[in-house]
Copies of this chain bind each other. A is one copy, B any other.
């Protein structure tokens, strides 16, 4: 069985491309060192390998189901949760005084990458719990944190995010779950929530739902939406779970993939009162949720990267072992068949996967390092860092979601009929990852967010910062040998970006909001490929610097980086010209299409 993750590449990204070993210079991380990070990563690999990878297929084949009102999961899930808890990963980035390790965000993402690659279904439970606790850390009162957050950090209770409703998925402004004030200051919740991952299970003593709802009598639209802490079991005075809070499992969703994660329809206030506590001020629910959205969306992007990565490694191993056919130049039928990795078209499929997943990993970790810079970097740079992170987030979420799917299709293609069977994991990764372009904001929503908001906010400052960082890396790369093709491709891409964005942004008012946004997808494609091209320039520059001193395996590794960067420059980046032209043209074909013409 192929490894699910490349330890070598993860360390290259963290310690050679990014300068993560310098994080301990920041006061919050003063107790750390590269060795500490290495230990944490090794621990993550071992826990992921032993307790998560072991039951990934079993959980896929045996979906959660209900017996006597209780959700049944394969036994490996509970064991995995125990191992994750014992490793201290639930609270790893929290303050030491809360029992955490104060891990930087980028290291935490690298840790989580192991679990996403090894078993994305089981990784859902702890990741939702971590996200829930983060949101509480930001907005909940100290008393709420003590009661609802600490058990999550300890991994005793799990958490969910309950946003969507059966009639309101992407359109959260239309949710109708209501919160009626009670005399003691709490609220009584009533309504249904759809697509709630981890919404019901017996893995933890309690489940804390973070629920979006409308306080009765409040305004329509997003201003009427507030956020509530809603436990599965009401919390006793001593902090232990007590009686049912009447959050009722109304059904399980049956998905193509991601089958290991319980996905539920929940009814609130069925058969009794569901009591919740308001988080912060009324009407701030969506703002609070979106405050955490950068991190959540980076998480989805990283999950997509890691599924693609695991598929790449599986198909690479297969391509080295499977012999089939001969080169066109060899006409001798008596000569042995060669491993298929020797065929140029198979190398194309493998190089494309490598370019996508390693480019995506570089992007996800780069964005994660911005989260750290925002929290612990130099004070005077934080505003700019925040704008850059805001701009990159729709790309970090959607680019790997879309392109890992293509990479996984390439993995199946490399393996042929074998890749299409359940004897190998790639078909499962392919089914799993197809969710990523949908949840946490569809690709359409990311495109609108990028073109309609992020590219213009603060007078376009985010784009300015992005362009200047790319230009700086282009400048620096001039000193290095062998990067001409890669630099030229990125420089050309930058020009196309600039002229296309100038054209479309300049016409925004004339076009009106609907036509202006009609080709937002092309903005996402264009800027997405460009940003990943930049990630490849950074990796290639790092490799070019290291190669002269490198020996044997290391030299091969750096050669591979340079060749994959070249591949991205030649086989991927030029595709953006099409999107740049389409975007600049403000073509109205889709805008003008009529329902009745379909």
Contact = CB atoms under 8 A, between A and B. Distances in A.
Interface of A: 164, 167-171, 173-174, 194-195, 220-222, 253-257, 316, 320, 323-329, 333-334, 337, 339, 341-351, 354, 405, 409, 412-413, 416-417, 419-423, 427, 430-431, 434-435, 437-439, 442-444, 447-448, 452, 512-518, 520-521, 556-557, 559-560, 563, 566-567, 570-571, 574-575, 577-578, 581-582, 587, 589-598
A162 to B, nearest CB: 14
Given A220-B334, A589-B566, A422 B254 contact: yes
Contact of A578 (B559, B560, B574, B590): B574
A596 to B, nearest CB: 5
Given A171-B337, A350-B598, A431-B431, 18 more contacts: A169-B417, A222-B333, A255-B420, A328-B517, A329-B513, A344-B514, A345-B444, A345-B520, A348-B521, A351-B590, A351-B593, A413-B438, A413-B444, A419-B438, A556-B596, A557-B597, A567-B590, A577-B578
B574 A575 contact: no
Contact of A255 (B195, B257, B421): B421
B430 A324 contact: no
Nearest to A173: B333
Across the A-B interface, give the 4 residue pairs with the lowest CB-CB distance, nearest first. A221-B333, A560-B597, A328-B513, A344-B518
A421 B253 contact: yes
15 contacts: A169-B416, A169-B417, A173-B333, A195-B417, A221-B334, A255-B427, A256-B430, A320-B595, A345-B448, A413-B438, A413-B443, A556-B594, A563-B597, A571-B589, A574-B578
A350 B559 CA distance: 42
B413 A437 contact: yes
Residue with the highest number of chain B CB atoms closer than 10 Å, among A257, A342, A570: A570
Given A170-B324, A220-B334, A596-B556, A447 B513 contact: no
Nearest to A452: B328
B578 A563 contact: no
